[in-house]
Amino acid sequence: MKADSVIRYEGMKVLRENLGLVESEKFINLIKKDNFDYTEWRKDIFKGISAEELFNEAKKYSENIQHSSILKYEIFKNKNNEYQFRLKNSTGDIIYSSESFPTKSQCKKEIEILKNNFLSTEIQITTE
């Protein structure tokens, strides 16, 4: 089972990719305002779709995610001369900015913790 933070991250990623950032936020606010009942909503979401169709769509989606989900961690020094990192998606959008760390090794340690929860292949170090 995935951690709550991973589920939140992946859920927001799906929303952003399909709706864009502004519409994703709007969607979340609409659900919060409504008496949205997921258990009722999900009863009809796959109505009329066969298990085979659902499987094929999920497989296609999974293959696309595997090829396009490269994340980059970018370490930099902020204006207070402390280290921070950004997490960028495959299109270069910043999807997470860390808190400040007094040393680069502490910053890298935090990245390693995140890398255990997310797929990533590359660390890019920059200084601003």
Say what the pTM is.
0.41
The 10s digit of each residue's pLDDT in 19-38 is 888 888 888 888 777 776 76
- What phi and psi values does residue 80 have, to the nearest 5 degrees? -90, 10
Look at the chain and report how many structural domains it folds into.
Answer: 2
- Shared domain check, 118 and 77: yes
CB 118 within 8 A of CB 96: no
Do 126 and 74 meet the contact criterion of CB atoms below 8 Å apart? yes
Tokens of 108: 């890298």
The predicted-structure confidence for 40-84, as pLDDT tens digits, reads as follows: 777 777 778 888 887 888 777 776 655 445 678 899 999 999 999
Q: Which of 68, 93, 113 is the endpoint of a domain?
A: 68
Q: Which pLDDT score is estimated for 29?
A: 80
pLDDT of residue 81: 94
Considering Cα of 59, then 1, then 95, then 13, what sign does the dihedral take? positive
CATH number for the domain that contains residue 105: 3.30.160.160
Would you state the pLDDT for residue 64?
65
Q: Which domain holds residue 57?
A: 4-68
